[in-house]
Structure 1
Amino acid sequence: MMGARTPMQMARLLRRDGYGALSRRALQTAAVPTARAPDFAFAFDIDGVLLRSSDPLPRAHETLSYLQSQRIPFILLTNGGGKHESERVADLSSKLNVPIDTSMLVQSHTPFADMEDLKNQNVMVVGGKEDDCRAVAEAYGFKTVVTPGDILVAYPEIWPFSQQLLPYYKTFTRPLPAPIDPTSPLTSLRIDAVFVYNDPRDWGLDAQIIKDVLLSDRGILGTRSLKNGNTELANRGYQQDGQPTLYFSNPDLLWAAKYHLPRLGQGGFREALEGIWSAITGGEAYGVKLQKVIMGKPHQPTYEFAERRLILHRQFLLDRHDSSLGHLKRVYMVGDNPASDIAGGNNYKSQYGTDWSSILVQTGVYMKGTKPSPQPRKIVGDVWDAVAWAIAQEQWTS
């Protein structure tokens, strides 16, 4: 049997094989054959765990290299996004100096790729740099994708406070698939779903357009539903007239960027939009709530999607064990944000009976010395310490 390779030997081998999509040859030649198939795996957050903004954190490379040398499965489970998975893994592979495959990455908007029933409809995608998120949605198979910038360029009067940004928007926006003409609802632009794919850049414009869509008649821009404010209807008639579903991909209020203090994320935009909605409709004082679907950590649907992805990756990685592979008993969720990573790991109920164990690192949102809420099973310094602790718990030997 081959001896276990050191992290340095692994790094040389991985450099030789390149840092693009994970190849079967790289796995078979780099990994150490072991008699025991690992019945545990890892799910790593990215920002604040492996990277700080775009810079690799110390020991992130060594950690992932070690896991790959041992054929211990892991996926990257992030509330980030804004790029297609193939682009993101190429970037991560280069920065972390470790080969990563798209099958190992779940971004906040990755589950949107499974929404087949909406792919032939008109959808509006919000957030991200320029129209990168439109490109992601189209790569997922959505045929007609509109952005708030498209609407602003076609009808500048719709939001007068972004006029100075029109030259910028004109560099990447597209003509609308239909005009906004409330006098002709059958031919006017109708939005069938609204997706917030990534952190919005132009909060005012995005909030205005989303509000218009949610107050419209059946998602037809430029119209106003006659049911709004009807006290005899559920939710006082708001969002009760065929308006599109509003999807948020990421609930994070804060995230760890290069600045030394946490920055507002997509969750901050959602809170602002909910405040606007409450002011317009009367809010909870009148029994009105903004109806929406929130994906991402810590929500159950995202963890269900991630667990299925991890199980498939484990089967591919350990296929030499065939029927003796056995059940995946435990997943260690390693993150820096108690409100998303730790809450999700603690609360997730696996349909496969897998135990999810949360580990909090001190390299991101969590401030050392404070009491996290909720409490993780373990607090450690960094991602290397997290894996070392988990390995000890599993009594894994190289």
Structure 2
Amino acid sequence: MAAKHPNGPGSFGLLFDIDGVLVRGRTPIPGAKQCFRNLVDRKGRYKVPVVFVTNAGNCMRQTKAEQLSHLLEVEVSAEQVMLSHSPLRMFTQFHNMCVLVSGQGPIKEVAENLGFQNIITIDMLRDACPLLDVVDHNRRPKGYVPEDKSLPQIDAVILFGEPIRWETNIQLIIDVLLTNGKPGSALGPLQYPHIPVLACNMDLLWMAEAKNPRFGHGMFLVCLESAYKKITGYDLQYEALIGKPSVVTYNYAELLVRKQAESLGWTGPVETLYAIGDNPMADIYGANLYNRYLQACQRARTRLQAKGSGKEAATSEEPPAMTSKELGGVSGMYGIEERLPESCRSVLVCTGVYSRDQQELPPGPGLHGHGAARVPRPQGLPLGPQPHTAVFSGAGREGGGGAGVSAGGLPSRVISGRRISLCLGASQAGQPSLLLPT
């Protein structure tokens, strides 16, 4: 495959989900290695920008890059990996606050790497206030209990990913919210809105080695929200929801694609992003939401240019403005001065959460399939969990023009032009193969 000339209209970048698309647990999906052999030249250099966008977040980027390099047998750098918490680097207003962090793995190290300076983990809070965590009788203090250790007042809560002991985390997080950041103190009048809560990874389910999807961090968020609402009568509020399907995640991924394009010597913009995933409610909905965002940026840029030239910009069929929940932490419009891609195309594969035997997603007033992002389903826009392209085995055979057979009512579309087959298990029944322009 020869990449398009960087100034050509077909220049593109790839955003790959990982779990359920390239691997299941620690096992590569059949065809994934061949897919990446097609994406690198003989020297192992990528022909187009590739970014791995995952909602995983309980590790460092370098660790995930090393895992992918081993599993896919191509070189993957940390700069190509975007974890659910990666955009927190941009939330500098919280970096000097005292934050409580929840999750598993090296979360204190992760938080420090993202720029946070004053960190309290759930274990640190439990150690300082041993009487707060009493659900597990075996972990209750026995005998003499010393006074609570002094901790600074907590200013915000950062939820990195699913924790190990849900009951401990839910109890202590709600203690922090109910006491306005002073969990060892007695309850006073309820402070609402509560202190800021930032959540990474809204996946309700994800695909590992088991035959059926497993609970993700989104399920933990559902439990936390339910407990807070039951106790207070109020909805838990989020300062930001980070990770797919939030716009801020795709904004950050686009920045990584742009940097890669520059390192490849591209002088022109990346015109199109292809977001490849297995989860309609995270990967597909998120890519479609970002596509709408890109369109809004283009209209804003056109209006500014028209103002500068003294001409009115004619617009028609303009969709409604995006809500703050849809933007997921993005404030204002990006891309008016920066050159963003023209579109982000969603590509659904059936190797993970989505099954080709699954029926069409049920109708409903809102999307709550993944975590706490209760984003209204927009009317009159191709913005929900329906992909631009659904791809399954049999697509892209020599001489064939089809880009896959749709399942469960999900649309399938042929991507025209010269193509590269990414060969994601094309030879195996039920595994997708993917065609993209070159």
| CA distance in structure 1 between the partners assigned to 2:173 and 2:49 by the alignment | 40
Aligned partner of 1:146 in structure 2 is 120
Aligned partner of 1:189 in structure 2 is 152
- Correspondence for 2:285 among 332, 335, 343: 343
State the superposition RMSD in angstroms. 2.7
Q: Tell me if structure 2 keeps the 8 A contact 1:188–1:221.
A: no
> Structure 1 pair 269/42, CA: closer, same or farther in 2 (3 Å)?
same
Aligned partner of 2:107 in structure 1 is 133
Aligned partner of 1:161 in structure 2 is 135
| CA distance in structure 1 between the partners assigned to 2:212 and 2:4 by the alignment | 43
Report deviation, 1:294. Answer: 1.2
- Amino acid of the residue matched to residue 344 of structure 2? W
> Structure 1 pair 215/391, CA: closer, same or farther in 2 (3 Å)?
same
Aligned partner of 1:250 in structure 2 is 201
Structure (1/2) with the larger helix percentage:
1
Q: Tell me if structure 2 keeps the 8 A contact 1:126–1:195.
A: yes
Identity %: 31
Aligned partner of 2:25 in structure 1 is 53
Structure 2, unmatched stretches of 5+, are: 142-146, 295-334, 362-384, 397-401, 404-412, 421-437
Aligned partner of 2:275 in structure 1 is 333
Aligned partner of residue 197 in structure 2, secondary structure: strand
| CA distance in structure 1 between the partners assigned to 2:185 and 2:99 by the alignment | 17
Aligned partner of residue 416 in structure 2, secondary structure: helix
Aligned partner of 2:184 in structure 1 is 222
Report deviation, 1:353. Answer: 4.7
- Correspondence for 2:242 among 271, 295, 308: 295
| CA distance in structure 1 between the partners assigned to 2:184 and 2:130 by the alignment | 14
TM-score (norm 2): 0.68
- Correspondence for 2:58 among 68, 82, 93: 82
Report deviation, 1:115. Answer: 2.7
> Structure 1 pair 393/180, CA: closer, same or farther in 2 (3 Å)?
farther
Aligned partner of 2:356 in structure 1 is 368
- Correspondence for 1:67 among 35, 39, 49: 39
Report deviation, 1:307. Answer: 1.1
Aligned partner of residue 214 in structure 1, secondary structure: helix
Is it true that 1:272 corresponds to 2:220 in the alignment? no
Give per-residue Cα distances to partners, 1:281-340, cap 9 Å, x unaligned.
12xxxxx321112111111111111111111111112x1x4xxx3222111110000000
Aligned partner of 1:123 in structure 2 is 99
Q: Which moved more, 1:348-357 or 1:88-97?
A: 348-357
Q: Tell me if structure 2 keeps the 8 A contact 1:363–1:381.
A: no
> Structure 1 pair 166/326, CA: closer, same or farther in 2 (3 Å)?
farther
Report deviation, 1:220. Answer: 2.0
> Structure 1 pair 372/294, CA: closer, same or farther in 2 (3 Å)?
farther
Q: Tell me if structure 2 keeps the 8 A contact 1:189–1:221.
A: no
Give per-residue Cα distances to partners, 1:346-379, cap 9 Å, x unaligned.
1211242521111111100001122454211221
- Amino acid of the residue matched to residue 204 of structure 1? E
| CA distance in structure 1 between the partners assigned to 2:163 and 2:229 by the alignment | 20
| CA distance in structure 1 between the partners assigned to 2:347 and 2:186 by the alignment | 48
Report deviation, 1:392. Answer: 5.3
Aligned partner of 1:16 in structure 2 is none
Q: Tell me if structure 1 keeps the 8 A contact 2:21–2:349.
A: yes
